[in-house]
Amino acid sequence: MLSRSCLDLLSLVSVDDYRALCQIPRVSTVPGVVSKFDAAEDDHADAGSGSDEVVSSGSPERRIIVANQLPIRAYRDVNTKKWSFEFDSDSLVLQLKDGLPSDVDVLYVGSLKVEIDPSEQDEVAQVLLEKFQCVPTFLPSEIHNKYYHGFCKHYLWPLFHYMVPMSTSQGARFDRSQWQAYVLANRIFANKVTEVINPDEDYVWVHDYHLMILPTLLRKRFHRVKLGFFMHNTFPSSEIYRTIPVRDDLLRALLNCDLIGFHTFDYARHFLSCCSRIFGLDYESKRGYIGLDYYGRTVMIKILPAGIHMGQLESVFSLSETAEKIKELKKRFEGKFVILGMDDMDLFKGINLKFLAMGKLLDMHEDLRGRVVLVQILNPARSEGKDIQDVQNETNAIAKDVNEKYGETGYQPIIVINGPVSTLEKAAYCAISECCIVNAVRDGMNLVPYMYTVCRQGSPVLDRALDEDDNDSETPKQSVIVVSEFIGCSPSLSGAIRVNPWNIDEVSEAMNLAITMPEAEKHLRHEKHYKYISSHDVTYWARSFDQDLERACRQHYLKRYWGVGLGLGFRIVALDPTFRKLSVDNIASAYRNTHNRLILLDYDGTMLPQPSIDKTPTNEVISILNCLCSDPKNMVFIVSGRDKKCLSKWFSPCEKLGLSAEHGYFTRWSSDSSWETCGLTMDFDWKRIAEPVMALYTEATDGSFIEQKESALVWHHQEADPHFGSSQAKELLDHLESVLANEPVIVKRGQHIVEVNPQGVSKGIAVESLISSMRSEGKSLDFLLCIGDDRSDEDMFESIASTVSNPNLPTIEHVFACTVGQKPSMAEYYLDDTCEVIKLLKGLANATSASPPSRPLYSLEDSQGSP
C-alpha cells in the first residue's frame, strides 16, 4: 500500500544554525578568469529543516554542487602550523560556476584531499564556509579507505571500464563491507547537504560515480528536491553492469534524479538498456529530449560532453612565465617532431600500449630515429594498489627498452615526466608539440585533446614565443590528434585520427601519418577542432545542463508525491491531483447501497500477472468471481482480448459470469447462453495479407509467435529480447499499416504485442453495447466498476467517461474506472498491481454476502493468495 515515508531528520541543524549557514556571498564572475568570490553577503530567510513544507526564503537562486572532492587545495602554513586553503583552478566543479547565471549563488559540498584532525574540523569547516562557500564532509579514515580506495577505485572504476574480476588476481571482487562504507559515506554527504539546503528553491547537482546512492538519500528526505546528476565516468553495457550485486540499488538511486547527464550517447544508451532489462522501463524521445517514465515522474536524460575553461587557458597564455617556458622547450627540442601524451598513471590509459607503438614506429621507420620524441607527462595515480604498481613497472620497463634500443647520446625517444606538473608547464608542452596522442583503452571523457588544441591556437604572446611574426596574424595554426575510439571525447573530434589502442601497428601508423601529414591538412583539422572546442567549453556545458535541470523540475508542484519502498529501494510516486488510489473504503459504501451493478474486469495483467506462465485462473479467482456473480444485483463480465474458446475453458466453473472475447467481437452473458457477435458484417480476407508479414517477423525474432483469433491476428514478443522485440514491433506496426492501408482493419500496438482488429471492434464499443443492453432490459445502472491494465483497456475508460458525461443518457450514480499501475490513464483511480485487484474484489465479495458468517468469507488481511 502506498504511504508517505517518514522523513529522515538525522543531523539536521536548528533554524538559527541554518540561518547562519545561509549567509552565503554572491558570485562575481570575471570574464576569462575562473570566478572568485567577493565578500558581499545576502540575508536569507528561515527555511525548513527536513520536509517539503519549507517557507520560501526570498533569496537569490542557489546551486549546491556535490562532488567527491571540493575544488580546494589545502596545505599547512610553515610558520603558523595552521591549515591554509586556496581554490583549485583546475577543478571542473569550480570552473562550471562560470556557466551559471551571474545572480546565482553556488555552494560546494565535498571532501578535502587531506585528512583533518577531528580537533581542527570545526574551525576548518567555518573557514571554508565563510571564505570559499564550501561545506566539507569529513570522512573517518577507515570509511574513506573502504569507500574511495576500496569500492570506488578498486571495484566500480575497473568494472565500469569493462574489467570484470573473474579471479582475485584479475581485480577486486564485490566486498560487502566496502559497499556498506560506500553507503555510509554517501549518507554523510547527504547529511551535509541537508544541513544547508532550502529544498523549495535550491537546485542540487551531484557529480560522478562516487555518489550514485546520494540521490535516493536526498529524495527520501525531500520529495520535491530539484536534483541533477552527471556521470563523468563511462557507463558500461548492461551485460557488464548487471554483474554488480547491488545493481538495483545503484540504478534506482539514479532514477531518483530529475536529470541524468552523460558525455556520449553510448553511455546514455547503456544506461537506458540497463533500465529496460532490469526494471522493464522504456524511454521516449520528444522534441529532442529523452525521458524515462518512472512511477509517474519523467526522468530526463541529457547527452553533452564537458568542455575546458577557455578563460583559464587564456589567462595562462598571458603570463610571461609561459612564454619563457615555451622558449626553453623549443630550444631543448629544436629539430625534433614532438608527440605529446598527458595521462594519469592508471590501468586504463593505455600508456604501455602507446610506448609499444612508439617502439614499433622507430623499428619500421629508421629515418625517424633521432627526429621524433614522445614526451609523456604522468599525473600521479589517484589510488593505490598492486594493479597500479604493476602498470607503472611495465610502463617504465617498456620506456627503458625503447630508449636503450633506439636512443643515442643526446637523444631519448621516450621522455617520461612524472607529475604533478603545473597547468603552465602543460600548456607550454602543448604549444610546442605538433601531435597529441590519447591512447586510453577506456575513458569517460578526457579533455587533454581539447586543451592541446586551444594551446596550439595560442595567443599573441605565444605567437611571439614561437618566433612567429607578430604582424602576421593570419599564420595558419596547426595540430594533429591521435585519439582512441574508446574514449568520450572521440565522437566530438571529427578531424582526429581515430585508432584502436590495442592494435599496436595501427597506432604506430597513425603516428607516422601525423608526422608526414601535409601542412594544409594539419591546419584544416586544427581549425575544425578549435571551432567546436571554443564554442563548447565548460561554461556552455554547465549552462546547458543547468537550463535542462530547471526544465526537468517545472512539474514538481503540479503533482502529488508519495514515498514508496524501504531503505535504498525508496522511490517517489508522482500522481495527478485527481488520480486517486481505489480501496475498499472508497467503494464499499456505494456498493452496498446500489441495486444494479456492472463490474467489468480485464484478465491478463489485471486478474493475473503478465509474467505468469500458467494463464489459467487460480481457484481463488474463480471463487471470488462466483461469489460476486451470485449476487442478483451484479452483472460481472470478463472483457479480454483472448479468444472465446480459451475464455470458455478457463471460466467454465463460473456459470453466471459474462464473457466478452476478442475485444468485444464475441459476447456471452452466461455459460448457458450462446455467443453473440458484434453484429458487423466482416470480411477476413485481410488475414491473407497480414499473416505472411507477421510470419516474416516471427522467423526473424527469436521468442516471438503469432496468435490466431477468429476476428484478429496478434504478434507476441514478450519472450523475445526486450530491445530487439520492441524494435521489431515498431517495424511490424509500420509494415502492417502500409500493406493494410485499404483494408477495414485497425493495427494497434499493445504491451508486448502488435494486433490487427476489424474496424468497429474495441473494448470501448463492447462496454457501450453492454450498458445499452442492460438499459434496454429496464435495468438502470447505479454502480459501474471497470478495471484494466493496458492500452486496450483505455478504450473502456474513455467510453465510460463519454457515457457519464453525456447529458442525454441516464446518470450512473457511482462510477469507478481503475487502471492497474501508476501511469497516465483515462481512469480516475488506480491500483498498484494484480494483488491489490484481488484484495479489492475480496472486499466486494465479503460485502456481497447477504448474511455474512462470523468470519468474513474472504479476509482483507489475507495477502498470501496468488492471483
| Alpha-carbon distance values, 234 to 160, 263, 274, 845 (Å) | 6, 8, 14, 54
Residue 840 has a pLDDT of: 93
Rounded-to-integer distance, Cα 187 and Cα 253, Å: 13
Report the C-alpha gap between 424 and 313 in whole angstroms: 9
Three-state secondary structure call for residue 205: strand
pLDDT along the chain (867 residues), means of 10: 30 33 33 35 33 48 96 88 91 95 95 93 94 96 94 94 83 91 97 95 96 97 96 95 96 97 95 92 85 91 94 88 91 94 92 96 94 95 81 94 92 93 94 95 94 90 58 73 95 95 97 96 95 95 96 88 90 84 86 92 88 84 93 93 91 94 91 85 86 95 92 92 90 93 89 89 90 88 92 90 88 92 82 91 77 39 36
- How many angstroms separate the CA atoms of 358 and 511, rounded? 8
E strands present in 274-413: 283-286, 289-294, 297-303, 337-344, 372-379
Nearest to 24 by CA among 119, 121, 109: 109
**Single-letter amino acid, residue 392:** Q
| Three-point CA angle 482, 487, 490, nearest 5° | 55
- What DSSP line would sit under 39-51, residue for residue? EEE-------SSS
> Edge-to-edge strand order for the sheet containing 337-344?
414-418, 372-379, 337-344, 435-438, 480-484, 497-499
**Number of Cβ atoms within 10 Å of the Cβ of 596:** 18
Element (H, E) at 671: none
**CA 64 – CA 105 distance, rounded (Å):** 9
The span from the CA of 732 to the CA of 20, in Å, is: 62
Cα-Cα end-to-end distance for the chain: 17
Three-class SS of residue 19?
helix
Dihedral sign computed on CA atoms, order 231, 236, 239, 242? negative
Report yes or no: 776 and 806 within 8 Å, Cβ to Cβ: no
pLDDT of residue 239: 92
Kindly state the helix (H) or strand (E) to which residue 798 belongs, with its residue range. helix 791-805
Q: b/e map of 388-413 (b: 16 or more CB within 10 Å)?
A: beebbeebeebbeebbeebbeeeebb
Give whole-number Cα distances, 223 to 66, 112, 220, 545, 572, in Å: 18, 29, 6, 21, 7
Whole-angstrom distance, CA of residue 588 vs CA of residue 583: 8
CA dist., res. 745 & res. 615, Å (int): 28
**Residue 814 buriedness (CB in 10 A; 0-12 / 13-18 / 19+):** middle
Handedness of CA 549, 551, 557, 558 (dihedral sign): negative
Closest among 447, 489, 383, 538 to 65, alpha carbons compared? 538
Closest among 75, 88, 86, 70 to 116, alpha carbons compared: 75
Would you tell me how many other CB atoms lie within 10 Å of the CB of residue 771?
Answer: 21
Give 726-767 as a 3 state SS string.
Answer: HHHHHHHHHHHHHHCCCCCEEEEEECCEEEEEECCCCHHHHH
Question: If 0-12 CB within 10 Å is exposed, 13-18 middle and 19+ buried, where does residue 567 land?
Answer: exposed
Amino acid at 70: L
280, 722 contact by CB (below 8 A) = yes
The DSSP element (H or E) to which 797 belongs, if any, is helix 791-805
pLDDT at position 118 is: 92
User: Can you tell me the distance from the alpha carbon of 558 to that of 540, in angstroms, rounded to the nearest whole number?
Assistant: 30
Tell me whether residue 300 is exposed, middle or buried, using C-beta atoms within 10 angstroms of its C-beta: 0 to 12, 13 to 18, 19 or more.
buried
Q: What is the DSSP letter of 161?
A: T
Measured CA to CA in angstroms, residue 273 lies from 11, 224, 265, 751 at distances of 37, 27, 12, 18
d(CA 187, CA 410): 56
How far is C-alpha 199 from the chain's CA centre?
A: 22
Place of cell 523540475: 553
Closest among 558, 563, 599 to 579, alpha carbons compared: 558
So what's the pLDDT on residue 2?
32
Q: For the chain, state the CA radius of gyration.
A: 33
Q: Residue 853's Cα: distance from chain center in Å?
A: 53
Residue 370, judged by CB atoms within 10 A of its CB (0-12, 13-18, 19+), counts as: middle
How far CA 397 is from CA of 101, 385, 400, 440, 600, in Å, comes to 50, 19, 5, 19, 76
Separation CA 808–CA 790 (nearest Å): 30
Task: Give the alpha-carbon dihedral of 10, 14, 17, 18, to 10 degrees.
Answer: 80
Distance CA 624, CA 665 (A): 26
Q: Are 313 and 454 in contact (CB under 8 A)?
A: yes
Q: Within 13 Å of residue 792, how many CA atoms lie on the same side as its CB?
A: 30
Quick one: pLDDT at residue 848?
62
Closest CA to 426 of 408, 403, 451: 451
Measured in degrees and rounded to the nearest 5, phi and psi for residue 147 equal: -70, -55
Q: How many residues does the chain have?
A: 867
Work out the number of other CB atoms within 10 angstroms of the CB of residue 570. 19
Alpha helices in 214-344 (DSSP H): 214-221, 238-241, 247-255, 265-279, 310-317, 320-332
Nearest Cα to Cα of residue 433 among 464, 455, 411: 455
Cα–Cα distance, 54 to 34 (Å, whole number): 34
* pLDDT given at position 285: 86
DSSP-derived pairing of the beta strands 560-564 and 497-499: unpaired
What is the Cα–Cα distance from 621 to 612, expressed in whole angstroms? Answer: 14
